[in-house]
């Protein structure tokens, strides 16, 4: 069963309910049409799932109103309910607004502008980053060659979780020592680094596992390893080395890759291309995470004391 078929049987079922409320036939029909349009637009599986889920919550909130009768004022009331009453995060509010915007624009064929003013302020909290020592401990602590190779590849290339699961065998370009990321986030192709040492590990892994189609097969040969399995594997490895309480995740490894590149003197434009960022501003956050840059700065008070000491010596 394909993902979209699964969505049709899980999210769009007429018997689906939320609390004591059941979706009306008109709401189910609206979800089905949204699903079809998302499929035609080649939206990612992740986006399809999120959009349909957010719309389902909206349809339940206005259970007695036909989706075709929704107005901007009703949408504003719902988004304010998420923001002010449920205290949902900025990401949650934005996802709901984007889902509703798609529904209005392509299903209802009505003009609608996302009311960005109601979003909570964007958090400035910096993501967690693992030290080089912690990365080494994580890799050394994994004995399974497949799992160890995945972690090594994540760290040495900066791939996203979905990207490493989608890697196919021909994407490993050993001749030019690079990895091709096909249709990564934003439907963009790019190249990133291939470590010489990781290439050796990949060859050893290939001899043992003989993957088909995808570099890392799941339970069925020829099918990719699931995102959840990779997440579970990394969390299990973090627990094993005693780092489970540090708020680390698979994405932390990507943050660590970029931050360590900054520490090593790699320029931001190169890091931007390797990570597949659209805007340099997104990449610039790694300047704030870089301990090497901070440690290389001479504290002005220490410089003042040193200057004064030299003056009197």
Catalytic residue set: 160, 185, 251, 254, 277, 286
Query: Across the beta sheet with 178-184, what order do the strands follow?
Result: 172-173, 178-184, 188-193
């Amino acid at each position: 069963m394909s993902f979209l078929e699964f969505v049709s049987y899980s999210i769009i079922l007429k018997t689906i309910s939320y609390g004591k409320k059941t979706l009306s036939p008109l709401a189910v029909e609206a979800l089905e049409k949204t699903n079809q349009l998302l499929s035609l637009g080649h939206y990612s599986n992740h986006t399809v799932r999120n959009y349909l889920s957010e719309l389902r919550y909206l349809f339940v909130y206005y259970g007695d109103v036909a989706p075709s009768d929704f107005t901007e004022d009703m949408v504003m009331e719902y988004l304010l309910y998420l923001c002010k009453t449920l205290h949902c995060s900025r990401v949650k509010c934005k996802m709901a607004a984007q889902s509703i915007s798609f529904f209005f624009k392509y299903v209802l064929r009505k003009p609608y502008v996302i009311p960005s003013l109601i979003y909570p302020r964007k958090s400035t909290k910096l993501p967690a980053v693992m030290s080089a020592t912690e990365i080494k401990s994580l890799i050394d602590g994994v004995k399974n060659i497949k799992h160890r190779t995945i972690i090594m590849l994540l760290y040495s290339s900066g791939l996203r979780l979905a990207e490493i699961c989608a890697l196919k065998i021909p994407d490993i370009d050993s001749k030019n020592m690079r990895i091709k990321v096909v249709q990564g986030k934003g439907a963009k192709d790019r190249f990133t680094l291939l470590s010489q040492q990781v290439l050796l590990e990949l060859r050893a892994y290939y001899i043992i596992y003989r993957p088909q189609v995808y570099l890392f097969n799941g339970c069925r040969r020829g099918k990719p390893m699931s995102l959840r399995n990779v997440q579970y594997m990394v969390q299990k490895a973090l627990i094993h080395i005693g780092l489970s309480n540090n708020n680390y995740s698979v994405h932390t490894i990507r943050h660590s890759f970029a931050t360590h590149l900054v520490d090593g003197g790699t320029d931001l434009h190169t890091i931007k291309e390797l990570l597949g960022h659209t805007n340099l501003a997104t990449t610039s956050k790694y300047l704030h995470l870089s301990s090497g840059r901070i440690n290389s700065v001479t504290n002005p008070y220490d410089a003042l004391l040193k200057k004064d000491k030299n003056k009197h010596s």
